[in-house]
Amino acid sequence: MIIREIQQKDNAQIAEVIRAIFHELDAPKIGTAYADPILDTLFEVYQSPRSNYYVVEKDGKVVGGCGIAPLENEAISVCELQKMYFAPEIRGSGYAEKIIQNCLEFAKAQNFELCYLETLSFMTTAQKLYQRIGFENLSAPMGNTGHNSCQVWMIKHL
């Protein structure tokens, strides 16, 4: 498996991975990444300044990904870890932590000082990973992600 920057040819595959996870977990579709109008054009979205999206490729197929971008409606020093999803076949392989590290290194190079994320409350395995990496819980959301179904908000000083 390899981690690499997203390419335009990956759009449909990563969108499929993300949507499949919401169905697998019977997660809310409204107020989450599932309903994001940009979900089918992640390559184009992450061409914006100070933004990047990484995918995990296994045997020529995209099986997961994670992005980093400025947090909308927040200080220029705050970025957001976004759309981290992995197909069941690679969960527990260590690639989530590796891809997050790629994102955080990119964020530091872009002079971000804080990294924000939000997730669903039942995604406890992901939350444990975030905490191990140094993210701390917040009592309220930051910025304007439009993900009003997410009840867990976390921050990390870079």
Tally the domains of the chain: 1
pLDDT tens, residue by residue, 79-94: 999 998 899 899 889 9
Across 131-136, average pLDDT: 96
CB of 36 closer than 8 Å to CB of 155: no
CB of 30 closer than 8 Å to CB of 149: yes
Give the global pTM. 0.90
Domain extent for 60? 2-157
How many C-beta atoms surround the C-beta of residue 9 within 10 A?
9
Confidence of residue 151 (pLDDT cuts 50, 70, 90): confident
Burial grade of 3 (CB within 10 A; 0-12, 13-18, 19 or more): middle
Starting at the edge strand found earlier in the chain, the sheet holding 2-5 runs: 2-5, 52-58, 61-70, 78-86, 114-119, 152-157, 136-138
End-to-end distance of the chain based on CA atoms, in angstroms? Answer: 27
CB of 99 closer than 8 Å to CB of 65: yes
Residues 6+ apart with CB under 8 A from 125: 91
Across 42-55, average pLDDT: 96
Instruction: Name the strand (E) or helix (H) holding 109.
Output: helix 95-109
- Hunting for tokens 């976390």 — which residue is that? 154
Instruction: Supply the CATH number for residue 145's domain.
Output: 3.40.630.30
Work out the mean pLDDT of the chain and round it to a whole number: 90
pLDDT tens, residue by residue, 19-39: 898 788 777 677 767 667 788
